[in-house]
């Protein structure tokens, strides 16, 4: 793969955020140059073997899941965490069937678990990680909870890296690229605490019966704007470096994934950045090893367009609220930025004129979970294939 | 790559047409099974090094060409044959600039030539291949003429395989797959006279502001229907095995590409099948070596959807006319099939009630061209980069 070298980076305390790097070529010979990074197939393969791909899924089209699975490079463990319907039309059963067929045909290492699996809830309870559970004792609904579950399973499987791919992608070839972009990112990063966030070049939308290649989604634009405000506040220099505030497609080293707090709902991805800036920006953290090594955030612009299921516009208000609340309630957010966020939310009718956004629920890191105990409780045969 | 084994094949004389084989996985470990073919990366790489990709282009969006180039595997020589505008807005100059930049950045072996290059016309004239020239002495307009030019250049570069990719593809990841599908096909075929034709799983269309994943285009459906009629006529057994009558994305061994006659206009792809059935079906050919080895035609269903520029519906009549004329004028076409074709053309208002379709212009094989002489004349520095 041939990728642009990052042209600059913003640094706040131990956190280094690199500018967007474009993928210049999917497969490349070794090229030398100060502005280029060529990453050989062997290097990428080496990371892929240690990478687990988590696919959170909830009632997506089965054909799309099938295409996504078929595109993931051979060396990567796949972990599907499903929160699909079980009553009435048993969507989870269909997903499990697709995965069983896929596994028996290809021998690809893959497992699927339902988010509401009683064994899973019990395992979380036994290890004391109850903040992921709801009042009925099961794992709470939500993509964030699915992603955390997947991350923990990847940790159980002793993987060094974990990446997240949405199940609603129309282009298998793009999924194949995402995974290799993750791997290329880890080849370039130097810290054991690294995160790779993918940026789409274009997100095709249907406008008046034609495909229009949009550069920015509306929610992304607002998210990035306020995240950059927050970062500018911290460093004292205005910046627009953050372009992947909402990156659904992202990956982390297991070291980083283990020490992160997670936000819930629509704010999980932007909160990752807020959390890192809060925790490692001012050096007040207890994780001294992170301060010594530094946290690296790479943003990679993929070559393929991002063409996925349209979920409609109705959730935009909820998304904005979740995203901006995360910045509003950050300890790094000053009064001026708070007033701007309130204005934005009120203009978009996301909150009333006198309201302030509610704080998002935050889930603690998984680092203290007793993995052996967790596996032991979980091993009741709930994960398929074994 | 993991591909289905073909479930059956139709044989007519020396021509063997295999049923569609689906790509089951883009990258795969070695899998054994009677209904599967797993093709290792090394095997694919070996073919890629001997494969030249020809991209015929005429005033396509530059961004799409750029994405296509960036996706082609590293080992493949790329040959762009452009018939884009030179007067007014110099599109060819822009293409040449993109290619120069791409080459200087990536060192990928690539060249571009304009179809109306005087040196190219002169070279064809000198070697006596004048049927590709128009009355003004230049290479005639048309995609077929561009493809033949590209094939000849690939032969000059001593490549063993030649594949064709359209320049208007929106999905770089799909292009990457096409090229590997070609290579996988050649790994599976046994004859030195082999052709790989790609079949799309779906061709997304915009229908009422949503993406609708069509399985069959209207023209494809009609083309395949009549090609299958022709084949059924030959063998005496009805069949629907041909599913890639219009496959723009196809590849051939250079041995096969060299001995083929080519049709012009919209009929180049379906005529390849008609020609092979005519020439090698009844054993009347002079190419005894082909009869001994047999001709193999593989049809591969790609994993990625085929999403390309919409050219509008206005050419559909012209396309139907070109395609069906090729079958109508085949020596294998009987009176009943002729009457069905006339009916189809008249129903679609492609010809008048009393008219018959005109015969397409056929261009002879390139096998007798004196390659050394052709290169010598062409070497005036017209191809860029050198």
Lowest pLDDT segment from A104-108, A131-135, B84-88, B311-315: B311-315
Q: Is B226 left (phi over 0), alpha (psi -120 to 50) or beta?
A: alpha
Is the peptide bond between B193 and the residue preceding it cis, with omega within 30 degrees of 0? no
pLDDT at residue A386 in the model: 43
What is the arithmetic mean of pLDDT over B175-194? 97
pLDDT at residue B7 in the model: 87
CB contact under 8 A, B108 and A25: yes
Q: Which residue of B has its CA nearest to A33?
A: B105
pLDDT at residue B34 in the model: 83
Q: Is B13 left (phi over 0), alpha (psi -120 to 50) or beta?
A: left
Strand A161-164 with A51-57, pairing? parallel
pLDDT level of residue A20 (50, 70, 90 thresholds): very high
- Which of A259, A244, A233, A255 lies closest to A340 in space, CA to CA? A233
CB contact under 8 A, A305 and B27: no
- Which of A174, A178, A145 lies closest to A247 in space, CA to CA? A178
Domains of chain A and CATH, by start: 2-202+243-308+367-385 (3.90.550.10)
Lowest pLDDT segment from A5-14, A228-237, A346-355: A346-355
Residues A119, B285: Cα–Cα separation, whole Å: 70
Distances (CA, A) of A219 to A224, A314, A315, A330, B25: 9, 12, 10, 19, 34
Chain B nearest-CA distance from A380, in A, is 30
pLDDT level of residue B120 (50, 70, 90 thresholds): very high
pLDDT at residue B385 in the model: 54
Q: Going along A191-324, which residue ranges are E strands? A: 193-199, 203-207, 210-214, 250-253, 262-263, 295-301
CA B327 to chain CA mean position, Å:
18
The residue written with tokens 């077929």 in the block is B144
**Chains A, B: CB pairs < 8 Å:** 113
**In this structure, how many other beta carbons lie within 10 angstroms of the beta carbon of residue B367?**
13
For residues B371 and B256, is the Cβ–Cβ distance under 8 A? no
B256: tokens are 């096969």
pLDDT level of residue B374 (50, 70, 90 thresholds): very high
Between A230 and A211, where is the model more confident?
Answer: A230
**What was the ipTM of the complex prediction?**
0.88
Residues B370, A122: Cα–Cα separation, whole Å: 77
pLDDT at residue A160 in the model: 98
pLDDT level of residue A207 (50, 70, 90 thresholds): low
3-class DSSP state for residue B260? coil
Q: Which DSSP category does B131 fall into?
A: G
What is the arithmetic mean of pLDDT over A85-114? 94
CB contact under 8 A, B173 and A170: no
The pLDDT > 90 percentage for chain A reads 77
pLDDT of residue B71 exceeding 90, the answer is yes
Beta-carbon contacts of B143 under 8 Å, excluding residues fewer than 6 positions away, are B56, B58, B268
pLDDT level of residue B380 (50, 70, 90 thresholds): low
Which residues in chain B are contacts of A106 at CB distance < 8 A? 2, 24-25, 28-29, 31
Residues B363, B347: Cα–Cα separation, whole Å: 30
The 10s digit of each residue's pLDDT in B300-336 is: 999 998 877 666 666 778 888 999 999 999 999 999 9
The residue written with tokens 């099939």 in the block is B337
Lowest pLDDT segment from A25-39, A141-155, B110-124, B371-385: B371-385
The 10s digit of each residue's pLDDT in B231-243 is: 999 999 999 999 9
What is the arithmetic mean of pLDDT over A33-39? 90
Lowest pLDDT segment from A12-21, A243-252, B196-205: B196-205
What residues of A are in the B interface, CB distance below 8 Å?
2, 23-29, 31, 36, 67, 70-71, 73-74, 105-108, 170-174, 176-177, 204, 206, 209-211, 303-305, 307, 310
pLDDT level of residue A23 (50, 70, 90 thresholds): very high
The 10s digit of each residue's pLDDT in A255-280 is: 999 999 999 988 999 999 999 999 99
State pTM to two decimals.
Answer: 0.92
B234: tokens are 């030959």
Which residues in chain A are contacts of B176 at CB distance < 8 A? 26-27, 173, 176
Residues A168, A228: Cα–Cα separation, whole Å: 29
A34 class by beta-carbon count within 10 Å (0-12 exposed, 13-18 middle, 19+ buried): exposed
B53 class by beta-carbon count within 10 Å (0-12 exposed, 13-18 middle, 19+ buried): buried
What value does the mean pLDDT of chain B take? 91
What value does the mean pLDDT of chain A take? 91
pLDDT at residue B197 in the model: 98
3-class DSSP state for residue A335? helix
Q: Which residue of B has its CA nearest to A308?
A: B211
Residues A369, A182: Cα–Cα separation, whole Å: 26
CB contact under 8 A, B24 and A106: yes
Strand A15-25 with A295-301, pairing? parallel
The 10s digit of each residue's pLDDT in B26-43 is: 999 888 888 899 999 999
Distances (CA, A) of B53 to A24, A158, A184, A242, A303: 19, 42, 26, 38, 20
- Which of B199, B131, B167, B188 lies closest to B55 in space, CA to CA? B167
pLDDT at residue B386 in the model: 43
pLDDT level of residue A220 (50, 70, 90 thresholds): confident
Lowest pLDDT segment from A6-15, B307-316, B332-341: B307-316
Residues A13, A235: Cα–Cα separation, whole Å: 9
Report angle CA A353, A356, A361 to the nearest 5 degrees: 145
Q: Which residue of A has its CA nearest to B201?
A: A67
Question: To 10 degrees, what angle do helices B172-188 and B41-48 make?
Answer: 100
Is the peptide bond between B85 and the residue preceding it cis, with omega within 30 degrees of 0? no
pLDDT level of residue A311 (50, 70, 90 thresholds): low
Strand A2-4 with A36-38, pairing? antiparallel
A52: tokens are 């687990």
């Amino acid at each position: 793969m041939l990728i642009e070298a990052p042209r600059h980076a913003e640094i706040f305390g131990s956190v280094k955020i690199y500018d967007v790097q474009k993928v210049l070529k999917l497969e490349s010979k070794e090229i030398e140059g100060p502005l280029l990074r060529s990453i050989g197939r062997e290097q990428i393969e080496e990371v892929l073997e240690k990478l687990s791909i988590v696919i959170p899924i909830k009632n997506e089209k089965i054909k799309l899941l099938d295409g996504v699975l078929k595109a993931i490079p051979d060396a990567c463990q796949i972990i599907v965490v499903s929160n699909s319907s079980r009553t009435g039309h048993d969507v989870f059963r269909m997903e499990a069937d697709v995965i069983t067929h896929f596994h028996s045909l290809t021998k690809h290492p893959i497992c699927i678990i339902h988010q509401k699996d009683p064994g899973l809830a019990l395992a979380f309870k036994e290890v004391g990680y109850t903040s992921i559970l709801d009042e009925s004792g099961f794992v709470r609904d939500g993509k964030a909870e699915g992603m955390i579950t997947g991350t923990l399973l990847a940790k159980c499987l002793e993987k060094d890296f974990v990446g997240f791919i949405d199940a609603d992608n129309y282009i298998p070839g793009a999924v194949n690229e995402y995974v290799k972009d993750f791997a290329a990112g880890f080849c370039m990063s130097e810290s054991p605490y690294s995160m790779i966030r993918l940026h789409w070049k274009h997100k095709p939308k249907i406008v008046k019966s034609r495909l229009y290649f949009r550069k920015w989604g509306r929610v992304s634009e607002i998210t990035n704007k306020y995240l950059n405000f927050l970062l500018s506040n911290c460093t004292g220099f205005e910046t627009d470096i953050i372009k992947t505030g909402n990156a659904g497609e992202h990956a982390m080293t297991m070291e980083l994934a283990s020490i992160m707090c997670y936000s819930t709902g629509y704010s999980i991805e932007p909160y990752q950045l807020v959390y890192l800036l809060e925790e490692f920006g001012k050096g007040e953290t207890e994780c001294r090893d992170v301060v010594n090594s530094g946290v690296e955030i790479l943003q990679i612009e993929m070559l393929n367009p991002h063409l996925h299921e349209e979920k409609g516009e109705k959730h935009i208000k909820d998304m904005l609220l979740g995203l901006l609340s995360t910045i509003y309630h950050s300890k790094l957010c000053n009064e001026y930025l708070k007033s701007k966020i309130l204005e934005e939310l009120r203009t978009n009718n996301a909150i009333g004129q006198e309201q302030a956004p509610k704080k998002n629920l935050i889930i603690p890191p998984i680092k203290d979970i007793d993995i052996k105990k967790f596996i032991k409780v979980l091993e009741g045969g709930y994960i398929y294939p074994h």
